[in-house]
Amino acid sequence: MITKTYSVPSISCGHCVNTIQMEVGEMEGIESVTANAETKMVDVVFNDKTNETAIKELMAEINFPVAA
Ligand SMILES: [Cu+2]
């Protein structure tokens, strides 16, 4: 398993947190997703059924792009 922490500046409230956790949490290969509205960071734990590129693509699709 791999753990990554991403900076997502567009997180502004609890709804954003819920959206990210729900949408990313539904991806194959995702073990857990924890978003934080105060730090605007997202911790993702995933296995080899997905990868960082796929996770970042989904985040961009749902309007929460990962900061470069
Ligand atoms: Cu929000």
Coil, strand or helix: which one is 59? helix
* Residue 50: inside a domain: yes
- Burial of 14 from C-beta contacts in 10 A (0-12 / 13-18 / 19+): exposed
Rounded Cα–Cα distance for residues 8 and 26 (Å): 19
| Bridge partners (DSSP) listed for residue 2 | 46
* CA 20 – ligand 1 centroid, Å: 10
CATH (domain of 12): 3.30.70.100
pLDDT band, residue 56 (cuts 50/70/90): very high
Distance, CA 50 to ligand 1 centroid (Å)? Answer: 26
Ligand 1 center from residue 10 Cα (angstroms)? 8
Band of the pLDDT at 18, cuts 50, 70, 90? very high
Q: Does residue 66 fall inside a structural domain?
A: no
68 pLDDT higher than 90: no
For residue 68, tell me if it sits in a domain: no
For 50, the domain range is 2-61
Distance 30 CA to ligand 1 centre (A): 22
Report pTM. Answer: 0.95
Domains in the chain, number = 1
Q: Once rounded to an integer, what is the mean pLDDT over residues 19-36?
A: 98
